[in-house]
């Protein structure tokens, strides 16, 4: 891995939007304060709102005050602010791109950025194609390998289904080589998600157990307490499968299920991940989709104080868009044959947590005589806590002290907060730093995005045909639809709950 970030100008399209304010500029500011930005570095923001560079700087300072911890000191801000520039315009207007070209050249001279360019598409997806084409038309893309480099970062959603994802890839490939394209899945930038590979491959004791002989099932849960907030319009088009599963949760599954790569180089890691996507057992046809998935949509809470999904802004009053899904996925290879991966995610649930639970098989035989004692023995569980309370725990059975043989279950626990001063960099800090140094392992490659859509699209198609359950089918603040509990019980299993 090339550790050194290269000097460059980061040109953000959609620089006044939510993503930029909440995530990108705060992440850059934090990298700046930790000395992790290259000496030659500047940001050129671009959006439709008219404003001067100084107004942009003031707006971004406000954003950093709100979203950085700690908020910027006057001194730190004074050193960061001169790195920010701004240009107004419409993405369909070629003259904007000519002005950007001119501004970039001036910034190169002022900040020694050496002609290197990182473009960030933080706009609505409907602008992606226009921006990509205009970048080419204005000769802003250097397609040759070597320096100066041109790279493009692109936010999800990456397409709406397989067909549109392929179209977007084709549009990108007319202008950029694959190694210039950085498709962001911010989950991959999370420390605890990256730790999955380190945990698996920096320890000798787990890998021999990491297979169908010892693992009964795996549960990947991303439970959110928030609703769709001010994104009702986007969510109506998207729904839970596109929003969370096609990208974040399948990428997480791939890290859990993949074979050891031959090295930690980007392509070696990405090759092994894509092998998992290729062998996901298809879930298609209405009957199969009914068996393998449970859909849900949140209603109001019991007191009626929280808006039901159908009452959210820009949401149809009879919307059938799901905000919850539980699904059973199989990975058809030697390692995982027969092991269900349960994926579950939803909005407006009781508790906010993201975990991966590796549930080991039950003991083959109970030595301890009495049925009540044997019934208390729980299978071992390895719990990777992605958020919050980042850490790992391993549960096992112990003897209750006393003259009788009684059994209890306990946990060995590791918390990130107890080490490294509890400081965990945000996902965007890691991803932006990687894009600056040209390390692509944590970005989704063309083939993995398309395979993920190939898997998800038939489920979306079947859901369109099968009448949806009576929605809403779970109250805000609950654990999700009762049907999801019943469904996993029918498999002879139960959901992991962080409170047990």
The 10 Å Cβ neighbour count of residue 470 is: 7
The distance of closest approach from Cβ of residue 12 to ligand BG6 in the complex, given in angstroms and rounded to an integer, is 18
90 catalytic? Reply is no
Paired tokens of 450:
């398309």
| Residue 243 binds ligand BG6 (CB under 6 A) | yes
Given a contact cutoff of 8 angstroms between Cβ atoms, the answer to whether 329 and 284 are in contact is no
Paired tokens of 433:
């730093």
The CA-to-CA distance between both ends of the chain, in Å, stands at 41
Q: Which is nearer to ligand BG6, 24 or 141 (CB)?
A: 24
Instruction: Tokens 């009781």: give the residue.
Output: 350
How many chain residues are in contact with ligand BG6, going by CB under 6 A?
A: 3
Q: What is the DSSP letter of 247?
A: I
φ and ψ at residue 331, rounded to 5 degrees: -110, 110
Q: Which is nearer to ligand BG6, 165 or 175 (CB)?
A: 165
Q: Which residues contact 333 (CB under 8 A, 6 or more apart)?
A: 275, 279
Given a contact cutoff of 8 angstroms between Cβ atoms, the answer to whether 357 and 488 are in contact is no
Q: Which is nearer to ligand BG6, 251 or 395 (CB)?
A: 251
Q: What is the DSSP letter of 138?
A: T
List the catalytic residue out of 160, 186, 248, 451.
Answer: 248
**Exposure of 58 in the CB half-sphere (CA atoms within 13 A):** 5
Q: Which residues contact 487 (CB under 8 A, 6 or more apart)?
A: 294, 326
- Helix axes of 266-278 and 250-257: crossing angle, nearest 10 degrees: 100
- Helix axes of 250-257 and 446-465: crossing angle, nearest 10 degrees: 120
The distance of closest approach from Cβ of residue 232 to ligand BG6 in the complex, given in angstroms and rounded to an integer, is 12
User: Which of 399, 368, 283, 263 lies closest to 330, judged by CA?
Assistant: 283
CA distance 51 to 87: 8
| Residue 224 binds ligand BG6 (CB under 6 A) | yes
Our measurement of the distance from residue 361's CA atom to the centroid of its chain's CA atoms, rounded to an integer in Å, reads 29
The residue whose Cβ lies closest to ligand BG6 is 243
| Residue 390 binds ligand BG6 (CB under 6 A) | no
Environment class of 483 (CB within 10 Å of its CB; exposed 0-12, middle 13-18, buried 19+): middle
Q: Which is nearer to ligand BG6, 108 or 224 (CB)?
A: 224
The distance of closest approach from Cβ of residue 188 to ligand BG6 in the complex, given in angstroms and rounded to an integer, is 11
CA 301 vs CA 98, 224, 468: distances in Å: 52, 15, 21
The distance of closest approach from Cβ of residue 480 to ligand BG6 in the complex, given in angstroms and rounded to an integer, is 16
The distance of closest approach from Cβ of residue 293 to ligand BG6 in the complex, given in angstroms and rounded to an integer, is 19
Q: Which is nearer to ligand BG6, 186 or 451 (CB)?
A: 186
The distance of closest approach from Cβ of residue 186 to ligand BG6 in the complex, given in angstroms and rounded to an integer, is 6
The distance of closest approach from Cβ of residue 385 to ligand BG6 in the complex, given in angstroms and rounded to an integer, is 13
The H or E element containing residue 27 is helix 25-33
Q: What is the DSSP letter of 498?
A: T
Pattern 185-214, ligand BG6, x by CB under 6 A: -x----------------------------
Q: Which is nearer to ligand BG6, 243 or 275 (CB)?
A: 243
Q: Which is nearer to ligand BG6, 186 or 310 (CB)?
A: 186
The distance of closest approach from Cβ of residue 242 to ligand BG6 in the complex, given in angstroms and rounded to an integer, is 9
| Helices within 217-347 (DSSP H only) | 232-240, 250-257, 266-278, 286-292
**Which residues are catalytically annotated?**
248
Q: Which positions lie near ligand BG6, rule CB under 6 A?
A: 186, 224, 243
């Amino acid at each position: 891995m090339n550790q050194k970030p290269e000097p460059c100008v980061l040109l953000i399209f959609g620089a006044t939007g939510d993503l930029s304010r909440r995530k990108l500029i705060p992440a850059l500011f934090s990298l700046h304060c930790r000395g992790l930005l290259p000496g030659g570095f500047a940001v050129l923001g671009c959006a439709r709102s008219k404003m001067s560079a100084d107004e942009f700087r003031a707006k971004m300072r406000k954003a950093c005050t709100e979203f950085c911890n700690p908020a910027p000191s006057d001194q730190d801000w004074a050193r960061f602010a001169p790195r920010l520039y701004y240009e107004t315009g419409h993405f369909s207007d070629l003259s904007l791109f000519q002005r950007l070209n001119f501004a970039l050249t001036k910034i190169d001279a002022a900040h020694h950025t050496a002609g290197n360019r990182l473009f960030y598409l933080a706009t609505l997806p409907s602008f992606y194609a226009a921006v990509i084409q205009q970048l080419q038309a204005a000769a802003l893309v250097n397609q040759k390998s070597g320096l100066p480099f041109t790279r493009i970062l692109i936010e999800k959603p990456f397409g709406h289904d397989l067909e549109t994802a392929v179209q977007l890839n084709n549009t990108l490939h007319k202008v950029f080589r694959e190694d210039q394209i950085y498709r962001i899945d911010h989950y991959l930038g999370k420390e605890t998600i990256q730790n999955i590979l380190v945990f698996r491959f920096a320890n000798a004791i787990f890998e021999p157990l990491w297979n169908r002989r010892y693992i009964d099932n795996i549960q990947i849960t991303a439970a959110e307490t928030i609703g769709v907030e001010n994104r009702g319009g986007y969510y109506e088009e998207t729904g839970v499968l596109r929003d969370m599963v096609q990208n974040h949760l399948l990428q997480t599954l791939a890290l859990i299920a993949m074979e050891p790569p031959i090295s930690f180089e980007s392509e070696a890691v990405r090759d092994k991940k894509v092998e998992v996507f290729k062998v996901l057992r298809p879930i298609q046809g209405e009957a199969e989709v009914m068996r393998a998935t449970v859909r849900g949509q949140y209603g109001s809470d019991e007191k009626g104080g929280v808006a039901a999904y159908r009452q959210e802004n820009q949401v149809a009053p009879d919307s059938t868009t799901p905000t919850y899904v539980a699904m059973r996925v199989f990975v058809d290879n030697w390692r995982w044959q027969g092991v269900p991966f349960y994926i579950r995610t939803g909005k407006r649930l009781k508790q906010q947590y993201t975990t991966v639970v590796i549930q080991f098989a039950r003991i083959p035989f109970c030595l301890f005589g009495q049925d009540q004692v044997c019934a208390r023995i729980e299978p071992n569980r390895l719990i990777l806590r992605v958020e919050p309370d980042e850490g790992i725990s391993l549960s096992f059975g112990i003897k209750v002290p006393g003259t009788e043989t009684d059994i209890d279950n306990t946990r060995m626990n590791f918390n990130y907060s107890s080490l490294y001063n509890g400081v965990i960099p945000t996902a965007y800090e890691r991803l932006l730093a990687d894009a600056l140094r040209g390390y692509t392992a944590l970005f989704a490659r063309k083939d993995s995005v398309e395979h993920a859509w190939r898997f998800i699209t038939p489920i979306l198609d079947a859901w369109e045909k099968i009448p949806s359950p009576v929605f809403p089918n779970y109250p805000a603040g609950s654990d999700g639809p009762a049907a999801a509990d019943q469904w996993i019980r029918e498999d002879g299993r139960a959901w992991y709950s962080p409170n047990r």
